[in-house]
């Protein structure tokens, strides 16, 4: 068992980051149905649950905090909205594309990297603004109400806040004339990254933690006070955080359940409809 645990720690990050996106790139090629991408993501969600049981960062993060059903509904609703957005993309793309600046001559993997870097900056800035403006924070607080961190609750967001971040991340791409297949790959990359970022797997990251916005970095963002949690806003990378001066990491800090949630709102609703309506109260 110790060998299996070591292999999971070693390969978890590259499997999600490289293999997951690599398979997605293969699946968007000619002759493959887009539905295979949904099956791919479902497989990685299942893999994250298994690995969190075998190599947990904190075993108590695997225990339900009256949140599993709520997180499942969040995931279904938000990913359904992503699919709807993709179906509307041809019409939306025509409406917003001003000039064809997209580097279509690059290989598909490099086009995806370009899309990730552009979207990452837009999403990070929207995330940063959500901690500065009360109207945005009320929507974003749904995500911060989580009392534990595990891969699946990376998909736990108020749908209106997801829409705000999605627009911030994709509008520059649409203006540049991004093709449909790159947007498909970007959605897959976002879901895989959210699983990685909130994962309860104690995987090895080495110096990559200073470049990538992975779980050991993102846990600090979920600390339950504004003083401590006002750091590490990036989705994919820490690059925008370094520009903003909000990048932070402390290798000696162990984050537990008592450190999570929203200290000023300890009774935040745990059921879906309550979380959906809470920002408007």
Q: CB under 8 Å to 187, separation ≥6 — which residues?
A: 37, 82, 86
The reported pLDDT for the residue numbered 95 is 60
Tokens in use for 263?
Answer: 């200290």
Q: Which residues of the chain have pLDDT under 50?
A: none
The reported pLDDT for the residue numbered 126 is 97
CA 250 – CA 232 distance, rounded (Å): 12
Q: Other C-beta atoms within 10 Å of 177: how many? A: 16
CA 150 – CA 31 distance, rounded (Å): 35
Residue 56's DSSP bridge partners are: 201
pTM reported for the whole predicted model: 0.93
The reported pLDDT for the residue numbered 80 is 87
The reported pLDDT for the residue numbered 66 is 84
């Amino acid at each position: 068992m110790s060998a299996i645990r070591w292999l999971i720690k070693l390969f978890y990050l590259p499997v999600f980051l490289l293999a997951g996106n690599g398979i997605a790139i293969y699946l968007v090629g000619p002759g493959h149905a887009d539905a295979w991408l949904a099956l791919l993501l479902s497989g990685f969600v299942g893999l994250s649950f298994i690995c969190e049981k075998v190599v947990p960062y904190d075993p108590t993060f695997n225990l339900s905090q009256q949140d599993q059903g709520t997180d499942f509904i969040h995931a279904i609703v938000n990913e359904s909205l992503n699919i709807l957005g993709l179906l509307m993309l041809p019409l939306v793309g025509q409406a917003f594309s001003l000039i064809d600046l997209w580097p279509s001559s690059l290989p598909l993997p490099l086009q995806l990297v370009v899309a990730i870097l552009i979207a990452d900056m837009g999403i990070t800035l929207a995330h940063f603004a959500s901690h500065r403006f009360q109207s945005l924070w009320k929507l974003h607080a749904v995500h911060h109400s989580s009392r534990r961190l595990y891969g699946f609750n990376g998909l736990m967001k108020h749908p209106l806040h997801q829409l705000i971040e999605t627009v911030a991340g994709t509008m520059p791409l649409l203006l540049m004339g991004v093709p449909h297949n790159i947007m498909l790959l970007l959605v897959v990359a976002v879901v895989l990254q959210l699983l990685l970022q909130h994962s309860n797997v104690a995987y090895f990251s080495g110096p990559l933690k200073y470049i990538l916005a992975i779980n050991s970095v993102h846990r600090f963002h979920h600390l339950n006070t504004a003083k401590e949690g006002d750091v590490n806003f990036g989705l994919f990378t820490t690059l925008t955080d370094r520009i903003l001066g909000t990048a932070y990491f402390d290798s000696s800090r162990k984050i537990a359940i008592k450190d999570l949630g929203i200290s000023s709102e300890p009774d935040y609703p745990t059921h879906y409809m309550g979380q959906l309506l809470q920002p408007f109260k």
